Amino acid sequence: MADKDKRSTGGKLPPGVKTKLKAPMATLPPGAKSGGDGAPSGLTRSDFVSDQDVRWCPGCGDYAVLATVQRLMPELGIPREKIVFISGIGCSSRFPYYMNAYGMHSIHGRAPTIATGLKATRPDLDIWVVTGDGDSLSIGGNHIIHLMRRNVNLQVLLFNNQIYGLTKGQYSPTSEVGKITKSTPFGSIDHPFNPTALVLGAEASFVGRTMDRDPKHMKEMFRMAHDHAGTGFVEIYQNCNIFNDAAFFVYTEKATKKERTIFIEHGKPLVYAGETKGLRLEGFHLESVDLDTGSWSVADCVVYDETSIELASIMARVFWHEELPQPFGVFYRERRETYEEQLQQQIESVIDRDGKGTLEDLLHAGDTWTIA
């Protein structure tokens, strides 16, 4: 592109810029390589690894999520240049820097707004919003709910670690009551949010939950969220081993995972603990029953229907329940027109009705007069 050659490269300062800086900055960061050819086929995980060193704490749950997303990307068949990661502020929001795709690390809580503006004008892009519990449920709470009701076709990965990590350990809107943190030395008195119930209440069209310690499940959840036409919301239970270690171990670790979790799947009965237990409905309440005592069988258990808002609402409300297992999987899925589809349709229908307007038409619309 000849007309682009005027751009300066090689670290030279443009003429007239005053600076104290003597040496030009390095033009090539360590490990940098040129961009790919953009062909979707033949890409591998490494094609989605950026040249930046990952700066999360060793042992952080974020690493597993990153690796999972990088493994999933080549399988989706989307050209790399069409993929955009947009984040807010917080540990997880550094995510875009580590993905070799387009990305923006924006400001606290606002990633959904930027992603909405981008998707509205560029429906061809595959957009992923990466956010945390503080980012999207506190400072960005307003945006996450409106993103859900608008049903913009993108994916939201909510890294829930029930703590503020980057600001070094204050309680978050998902922290449990009584939590002792730097800002709550006598225990938090704030009742926590239940993120899945929150977004269901905000008219989300796809709601899922997964955990950082189960990469296989995570990958399937991400894939399903991606394949969903609409906002695909996935809450990830993610361990912060520095400020809130083991917050989800009761669900994620071998010793208790089997008894304390249930993986819900559309069209399948709600059974868990190696099919020795199940969930049945007693009125509107879920009840855990033993399937190996002869009193109850799989046939008594609820067959999950992810298109039922009623079931999803009941399931989402199973939240740190002492007698019921914590649900993981797709709670709800509904095909509803997306925001950008409707925006485009409206424009097309007005053009169909009134014809494509030109600037001249607009300027001369209404009453005019001419002075010779």
Partner 1 sequence: MTKNIESLSEATVLFAGDSGDGMQLAGTQFTLATAYAMNDLATLPDFPAEIRAPAGTTYGISGFQLRFGSTDIRTPGDEVDLLVAMNPAALKVNLSRVRIGGTILVNGNAFDKRSLDLAGLESNPLEDGSLDRYRLISVELTRLTRETLVDSGLKQKDIDRSKNMFALGMSLWMYSRPLDPALDWISNKFAKNEQIRDANLKLLRKGFHFGETTEQFAVRYEISPAKMQPGTYRAIQGIHALAMGLVAAGERSGLTIFYASYPITPASDLLHALSRYKNYGVMTMQTEDEIAAIGAAIGAGFGGNIGITGTSGPGLALKTEAAGLALITELPVVIVNVMRGGPSTGLPTKTEQSDLLQAMFGRSGDSPLPVLAASTPGDCFETAYEACRIAVNYMTPVILLVDGYLANGSEPWMIPDVDSLKPFDVRFAEAADDEETFLPYSRDDKTLARRWAKPGTPGLEHRIGGLEKENETGNISYEGDNHELMTHLRAEKVERVLAEIPPLDVFGDKSGDVLVIGWGSTRGAIEAAVAQARSAGNKVGSVHLRFLNPLTSEIAEIAGRFKQLLVPELNNGQLVRILRDRFLLPFVPFNKIQGRPFRASEIVGAIEEMIV
- Segment 100 to 129, residues that bind partner 1, using CB under 8 A: 100-107, 110, 112-122, 124-125
Interface pick for partner 1 out of 81, 190, 334, 341 (rule CB under 8 A): 81
> x/- site string to partner 1, residues 142 to 161, per CB under 8 A?
xx-xx---------------
**Interface with partner 1 in residues 38-77 (CB under 8 A):** 38, 50, 52
Q: Could you give the maximum distance between any two Cα atoms of the chain, in Å?
A: 99
* CA gap 70, 100 in Å, rounded: 9
Closest CB 42 distance from partner 1, rounded Å? 14
CB of 129 within 8 A of CB of 225?
no
The residues near 144 (Cβ < 8 Å, ≥ 6 apart) are: 112, 131, 136, 137, 156, 199, 202
The residues near 87 (Cβ < 8 Å, ≥ 6 apart) are: 93, 94, 95, 96, 103, 104, 105, 106, 111, 129, 130, 131, 135
Q: Which two tokens mark 40?
A: 């979707």
CB of 165 within 8 A of CB of 174?
no
Q: Which stretch of DSSP H or E encloses residue 210?
A: strand 206-211
Closest CB 17 distance from partner 1, rounded Å? 5
Closest CB 101 distance from partner 1, rounded Å? 5
Size of the residue set binding partner 1 (CB under 8 A): 90
> x/- site string to partner 1, residues 342 to 361, per CB under 8 A?
-x--xx--xx-xxxxxxxx-
Closest CB 57 distance from partner 1, rounded Å? 17
Q: Cβ–Cβ contacts within 10 Å for residue 314, how many?
A: 18
Interface pick for partner 1 out of 42, 58, 322, 363 (rule CB under 8 A): 363
**Interface with partner 1 in residues 17-36 (CB under 8 A):** 17-21, 25-29, 32-36
* CA gap 231, 333 in Å, rounded: 10
Q: Which stretch binds partner 1 (CB under 8 A): 7-15, 157-165, 169-177, 329-337?
A: 7-15
Q: Which is nearer to partner 1, 38 or 59 (CB)?
A: 38
**Interface with partner 1 in residues 198-237 (CB under 8 A):** none
